[in-house]
Structure 1
């Protein structure tokens, strides 16, 4: 009968933090396995020195490399994948022979632990159980006696190995945070905390629950003294990272020089962000927008981020105007061009609705639109007259969309289509195709651009007859040609500028 595999968390370091269940399983194990570095003793094994039975077989799973350079065709990732395969085979032999195998894991087995890679390879073939352990960050907050998150606070756990700019952005967008994997990453982590405005109050905790444990403010830490067994605790305050617009003090409204700058970020790549837009973003104190767009703005010292969902345009526009009314410089961000189905209209609409916001200065900074990006990838399909429409009927009835489609088709204009389909709007592309085929030749050229400018980019040139509505989603932008749009011998799609009478 095959043996069973157990992944057990032995906690952060203090043997008294080992759970009763983990202790029982270790004492009865046939095989005890644990990972350790070259020239180092396993910390997990040290924690349970008094629990491993004398007759148990010990499998030392020694890492072949560190994060440095490796001589492996697959690099570090390839070397580690081979290592985990070899470890799994060693344990598989014990399990197949009927021996129960207990794998020790520092902290919790499924929290940045090596056991999970063995679990991936063995759990499908053998009975497997995972036993939770006390994670290091729980011991760290206990040592510092610091509440981590309260009420509606959001907790984010981050590896310090993230790129500094990405780490800063994520720190700015969360309430409480834990930053793991320090050591050589500490200088970049400290810089990211400062950029995100989270350095004050951030705590450095070293070897939590071990005899040599200590903690101090991150700002006071000597970067050269940071070991692997350390982390940073960024406490939340119980209020969430939501920022209400400050109320101007008496006379401040007249003296304030706040403004709202509505910025188009382009379709995605950093190279498509214009220098003007980048300059504006570098000078504002607040950035407001749909969360994925706010995430594209680099974090820096003093920048406050206000991210929200996709269907509250007027709410966030009003919030931005209120911030500006109180004297703040605010950027409202949109993908593509802010004036093409973007936030520029929402800001002006919100301003018109509130008389106390009429005096707030509003500027719009253009960006590369998605239709420009798709058209450029295809060639020059909008080289002649063209129309731009959204198939979304969230802000206008479908009857209006249908009437406009017929007008565009009757005028023989090239048509760029935004928002073609979503999870809740599944019939519009088919309806559009049917309407256009009443006026257009089935061989009319259609360009389907998906995620243009991103790593997943694809571009398909098809015809109105062959267009598959089921293949279209919200990541797509369509360009439906006119009667004169054609495909060149090199595959470029283009529309002549001249039209015969």
Structure 2
């Protein structure tokens, strides 16, 4: 009969924070295993020292390298993978012999811990149980007595080893954050906090729950003194009353709210006017993928939200502008073409926003980009429609399709399909075919301007609705739209041509 494997969390360092279950399992273990750095004593062993029975076999799993520098042919990753395989073989031998094996883990076993690599290699062969432990960030927030997140706030836990620009982006996009794995990464982490506008209020905590525990503002930390056993707490701003508001109300003057179009994708399609506007604002509000396209910089706060939250985004932006903050609402393409401009004006009808001026800055629209790639299909009169029936009934969409078809206008179609809308393109195709020839030219542009760009020229009868999704824009030609011998599509400006 084989033994049983336990991954036991010990908490952040104080032996009194080890759970009753963890102490019971350690005290009854045949084998107690723990990881240890080169030339160092195991921190996990120190925490559990008072619980390990005298007769237990101790397996010291000493890392071959801790700095990332190694002569191993597979580099650091190869050296560590080989090490974990050797550790699993050693522990597996004990389990095969029927012994109970407890692997000690600082904090929680499944949270940035080495136990996970034993679990990956052994749990499918032996009975396994994981005992949770108090994570270090919980001890850190308790030490500073600072609420981390409230109500619907989002908490993000980040490794300080992330590239600095990515760390800054993620810090700007979240409410509260914990940053782990400091040590040598601290200078870059501090810089990322400053770029994200989160340095003020960020708290550095060292050796939480241990006798040597200390904490102070990140801005006051000497980078040369930062050990591995440290982290940063970035409390959410959501529930905190600004210091000036606690002292008394301060008059603020509403500022102009900018609504800008970022273009369909490539940075070089961003207009100089919009680029200059984004460089001068303190807040960017928008749908997540569009907000991500705005480079992070010092002092910029980014407010990303989901695809169907247009009114919430508009209200947030208007509230910020009403308080005197410089804000830009961003849309892909042109903000006035199925973008955020309309949602902002709709929300601003509330009299409370009467003092907020709204200025819309144009952007290159997707229909322009696709048309340019194809040639000149919108060289004559054309119409633009969205097939989304989220804000209007499908019966109205059909009515407008029939009118456009009867008028023989070139038609640009946005939002042709999504995961929840799979039939509208085929339905629209059938409506158009009642008024148009199957030979009418159709252009399908997907991800135009991006690396995955594709452009397909087909016909109304040959269009495959199943091949279309939200990344596509469709241009249905008029009876005058033509295709050159080289495959370029164009529509004459005059019906007499």
Q: TM-score, normalised by structure 2?
A: 0.83
* Matching of residue 333 in structure 1 with residue 330 in structure 2: yes
Please give the residue correspondences for 1:136-175 in structure 2 after superposition, counting only pairs within 5 Å: 136-175=136-175
Q: CA deviation at 1:380?
A: 3.3
Match of 1:199 in 2: 199
Q: Deviations over 1:307-349 (max 9, x none)?
A: 4443343454355345445544321111222122111223334
Q: Let me know the Cα RMSD of the aligned residues.
A: 3.7
* Matching of residue 420 in structure 1 with residue 400 in structure 2: no
Match of 2:118 in 1: 118
Match of 2:365 in 1: 369
When residues 163 and 322 of structure 1 are mapped into structure 2, their CA distance, relative to the original with a 3 A threshold, is: same
Q: CA deviation at 1:419?
A: 1.5
Whole-Å separation in 1 of the counterparts to 2:432 and 2:73: 53
Please give the residue correspondences for 1:190-269 in structure 2 after superposition, counting only pairs within 5 Å: 190-236=190-236, 239=239, 256=253, 258-269=255-266
When residues 174 and 19 of structure 1 are mapped into structure 2, their CA distance, relative to the original with a 3 A threshold, is: same
Q: Deviations over 1:353-391 (max 9, x none)?
A: 356756643322222333345556x64374644543210
Whole-Å separation in 1 of the counterparts to 2:109 and 2:14: 16
Q: Select between 310-319 and 41-50 the one with higher mean Cα deviation.
A: 310-319
Q: Deviations over 1:187-243 (max 9, x none)?
A: 22222323333323322111122232222221211011111110012234662799x
Q: Select between 19-28 and 226-235 the one with higher mean Cα deviation.
A: 19-28
Whole-Å separation in 2 of the counterparts to 1:446 and 1:101: 67
Out of 308, 311, 319, the residue aligned to residue 308 of structure 2 is 311
When residues 25 and 326 of structure 1 are mapped into structure 2, their CA distance, relative to the original with a 3 A threshold, is: closer
Q: Select between 214-223 and 158-167 the one with higher mean Cα deviation.
A: 158-167
Q: Deviations over 1:135-164 (max 9, x none)?
A: 111222233333333455443222222333
Give the conservation status (yes or no) of the 8 Å contact 1:290–1:308. yes
* Matching of residue 477 in structure 1 with residue 477 in structure 2: no
Give the conservation status (yes or no) of the 8 Å contact 2:374–2:443. no
Whole-Å separation in 2 of the counterparts to 1:25 and 1:3: 13
Whole-Å separation in 2 of the counterparts to 1:446 and 1:86: 61
Whole-Å separation in 2 of the counterparts to 1:42 and 1:468: 63
Match of 2:278 in 1: 281
Q: CA deviation at 1:9?
A: 0.9
* Matching of residue 406 in structure 1 with residue 402 in structure 2: yes
Give the conservation status (yes or no) of the 8 Å contact 1:109–1:115. yes
Whole-Å separation in 2 of the counterparts to 1:74 and 1:439: 65
Whole-Å separation in 2 of the counterparts to 1:338 and 1:183: 44
Q: CA deviation at 1:434?
A: 1.9
Whole-Å separation in 1 of the counterparts to 2:133 and 2:277: 48
Out of 414, 425, 431, the residue aligned to residue 427 of structure 2 is 431
Whole-Å separation in 2 of the counterparts to 1:447 and 1:54: 78
Match of 1:179 in 2: 179
Give the conservation status (yes or no) of the 8 Å contact 2:169–2:196. yes
- SS state of the match for residue 51, structure 2? coil
Whole-Å separation in 1 of the counterparts to 2:336 and 2:164: 32
Match of 1:109 in 2: 109
Q: CA deviation at 1:444?
A: 5.7
Q: Deviations over 1:401-446 (max 9, x none)?
A: 2233234444555543222223443321221122233345556665
- SS state of the match for residue 23, structure 1? helix
Whole-Å separation in 2 of the counterparts to 1:67 and 1:369: 49
Whole-Å separation in 1 of the counterparts to 2:179 and 2:148: 12
When residues 487 and 406 of structure 1 are mapped into structure 2, their CA distance, relative to the original with a 3 A threshold, is: farther
When residues 40 and 457 of structure 1 are mapped into structure 2, their CA distance, relative to the original with a 3 A threshold, is: farther
- SS state of the match for residue 157, structure 1? strand
- Structure 2 runs not aligned, ≥5 long: none
When residues 100 and 497 of structure 1 are mapped into structure 2, their CA distance, relative to the original with a 3 A threshold, is: farther
Whole-Å separation in 2 of the counterparts to 1:31 and 1:478: 66
Give the conservation status (yes or no) of the 8 Å contact 1:174–1:241. no
Match of 1:68 in 2: 68
Q: CA deviation at 1:68?
A: 3.5
- Structure 1 runs not aligned, ≥5 long: none
Q: TM-score, normalised by structure 1?
A: 0.83
Match of 1:347 in 2: 344
Whole-Å separation in 2 of the counterparts to 1:58 and 1:77: 26
When residues 105 and 327 of structure 1 are mapped into structure 2, their CA distance, relative to the original with a 3 A threshold, is: closer
